[in-house]
């Protein structure tokens, strides 16, 4: 089942996944803005990931993904309690 948005049929599961991604991204953004220690750790992780081999186009994203997922495991449960 889905619904129509501006003449396009959109599966409801796709919309739900997009909303979940948006919540995750905003939660991480807010965490970085509100917590200087996490922001510094993010900067350090970005610098570490940038030193990975330059010929691997996915290395930086894969490196950052692990750190982001770890932070999200701490941030997202707090949203559920609000």
Domain ranges of the chain: 2-80
Q: Is the pLDDT at 1 greater than 50, yes or no?
A: no
d(CA 13, CA 17): 6
Q: Is the pLDDT at 67 greater than 50, yes or no?
A: yes
pLDDT in tens, 30-62: 999 999 999 999 999 999 998 888 888 899 999
pLDDT reported for residue 77: 83
Question: Whole-model pTM?
Answer: 0.71
Using the CB atoms, write b or e for 43-73: b if 16+ within 10 Å: eebeeebeeeeeeeeeebeebbeebbeebbe
């Amino acid at each position: 089942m889905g619904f129509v948005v501006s003449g396009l049929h959109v599966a409801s599961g796709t919309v739900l996944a997009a909303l979940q991604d948006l919540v995750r991204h905003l939660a991480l953004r807010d965490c970085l803005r509100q917590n200087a220690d996490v922001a510094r750790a993010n900067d350090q992780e970005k610098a570490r990931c940038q030193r990975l081999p330059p010929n691997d186009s996915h290395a930086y994203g894969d490196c950052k993904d692990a750190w982001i997922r770890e932070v999200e495991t701490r941030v997202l449960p707090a949203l559920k309690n609000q």
